[in-house]
Amino acid sequence: MPAKKIQQRLTIAVFYHIPAFFMVLFFLITPTPSFGTPDNEEIREDIRKFQKFFQNRFPTVKLETYQDGVNGLPQYSHRIKNWKLLSSVPIHIREIRGMEKDWEQSFVDGSSLATCFSDKPPGNQYPYFNGTSIRTIVGDINDCLSIHSEQALNANGAKMAKLVAFYKSKANGQPVSIDYSSPMIRDAYQKGRQYYWTRRGQRNFSCASCHVQNSGNQIRSDVISAALGQSTGFPVYRTAWALQGQPWRTIHRRYASCHMQAGAVPPLPQSAEYIALQVYQGIMNTGIPLKVPGRRQ
Ligand code: HEC
């Protein structure tokens, strides 16, 4: 075949066929508007399609690698050495191990966070429905403190982030597994899904505009992580934030920063909106092992 013809075919493939392929995939996983609460079967199918989309987009990335956020993507490989170097200096791990004494420390009435959590599910099964409401680890820590007449913590503060990381880290390596058999969780899933895919703010972006459609693409100096895996490494320790004196972020604080990037006013930490988002993300991450605390650059 003449060189010119080959070049023409390549141009057609790069500019038409490849983008068209991803567009079709994108529409396949975009949730169709649904008015009712999805059933178990619909959720299972959603998980399958969502994970398959990223498998096709990043064929060399294994499911478990999504726990590392953007560091796991080939588009970020130019910075991977730096990340490995940072991860090999385990300040973040040491800080979390240091939380054990806070976890075990007795309150005035003799109880402790450890006693409150003795009947709670492991970190890879949060958020969960306890028969009355949907619980996050942050919510359960603050409930425990209040019930035992202790001062509640700032839901997005560094101490809370480290306590959550301490508890979640006990389940490191366990695959995310959220029980969606209750209608309350399935209803939150539906709200979280709607939220993730709805455009908002001055820039009219949805979470998916960046983390699905543009995952792996560059925005300013950042590469955008995939929606898949988001929250499995949280709370995280990020060097860029350490330089500003606040290296720790809870997942709701991260949601809020992203919200502001889209030019929208963020909901409050532990609001129904953010808990729903966390339920949706958790369910999409089914099967990815926890790796807490995550390290970010
Ligand atoms: C304008 C693009 C943009 C939008 C819109 C956006 N994000 Fe982000 N998000 C980023 C960038 C850039 C980062 C930092 C690099 C990275 O980790 O993806 C990030 C990081 C994150 C992370 C941290 C990932 C990790 O493992 O460290 C989470 C979680 C996240 N975003 C969730 C959301 C949610 C939820 C929404 C919608 C409310 C949202 N984002 C909307 C660009 C965006």
pLDDT tens track for 208-263: 999 999 999 999 889 999 999 999 999 999 998 888 889 999 999 999 999 988 88
Residue 33 confidence class, pLDDT cut points 50, 70, 90: very low
Residue 13 domain-assigned (yes or no): no
Residue 8 falls inside a structural domain: no
What integer best gives the mean pLDDT of the chain?
Answer: 91
**Residue 58 falls inside a structural domain:** yes
What is the number of structural domains in the chain?
Answer: 1
Q: Which of 11-15, 96-100, 217-221 has the lowest mean pLDDT?
A: 11-15
**CA-CA distance, 52 to 190, in Å (whole number)?**
20
As a whole number, mean pLDDT of residues 164-171 equals 98
132 exposed, middle or buried (CB, 10 Å; 0-12, 13-18, 19+)?
A: exposed
Whether 29 maps to a domain, the answer reads no
To which residue do tokens 């991803």 refer? 22
pLDDT at 32 over 60: no
In angstroms, what is the span from residue 224 Cα to ligand 1's centroid?
Answer: 7
In a domain, 47, yes or no: no
Task: Give a yes or no: residue 27 inside a domain.
Answer: no
> What is the domain range of residue 175?
52-297
Q: Which of 82, 26, 77 is nearest to 213 (CA)?
A: 26
CA distances from 66 to 32, 81, 252 (A): 25, 17, 19
Residue 166 and residue 102: Cα distance in Å, rounded? Answer: 10
State the maximum Cα–Cα separation within the chain, in Å, rounded to a whole number.
Answer: 84
Angle at 157 between CA 153 and CA 158, to 5 degrees: 115
Q: How far is the CA of 69 from the centre of ligand 1 (A)?
A: 10
Which residue's alpha carbon is at the smallest distance from atom 39 of ligand 1?
Answer: 207
- Mean pLDDT for 49-73 is 97
DSSP 71-118: GGSGGGGGGHHHHHHHHTS-HHHHHHHTTHHHHH---TTS--HHHHGG
What number is the average pLDDT over the span 271-287? 98
Taking the CA of residue 214 as reference, the ligand 1 atom at the shortest distance is: 2
User: Does any domain span residue 97?
Assistant: yes
User: For residue 120, what is the domain's CATH number?
Assistant: 1.10.760.10
Q: Is the dihedral of CA 193, 170, 72, 57 positive or negative?
A: negative
Neighbours of 3 (CB within 10 A): 7
**How much is the pLDDT for 98?**
95
Is residue 14 domain-resident? no
What is the reported pTM? 0.91
